[in-house]
Amino acid sequence: MKPRSWASTRRGGAPPVWQPEALVILVGAFGLLAWLLDVDVLKSISPNWSAMRANEAFSFVLVGVAGRSCSRPGVSTSTPTPYFRT
């Protein structure tokens, strides 16, 4: 019997490490949480660096969600919508 890899045991097929959209959403969520709770440590990685602003954190979440929705298996982005059919 051939051993199965970890990636083949999951429904999505790819482990979370290979899904950068989840990481982008997580970074944005931590940035928003830092602004809501006013925690300076979470706003910036290093004290010498500039802090992540709230609108940047929100943009990270939106970009991660958009990337996640575009990368779902079985979703075709080449199908024309009824408005653009010729």
The pairs formed by 71-77 with CB atoms below 8 angstroms and a separation of 24 or more are: 71/19, 71/21, 73/12, 73/13
Q: Residue 66 has which token pair?
A: 């958009």
Tell me the pLDDT tens digit for each residue of 33-75. 999 998 888 888 788 888 889 999 999 999 999 888 876 665 5
Beta carbons of 40 and 80 less than 8 angstroms apart: no
* pLDDT score for 68: 82
pTM above 0.85, yes or no: no
Tell me the pLDDT tens digit for each residue of 27-36. 999 999 999 9
* pLDDT score for 61: 94
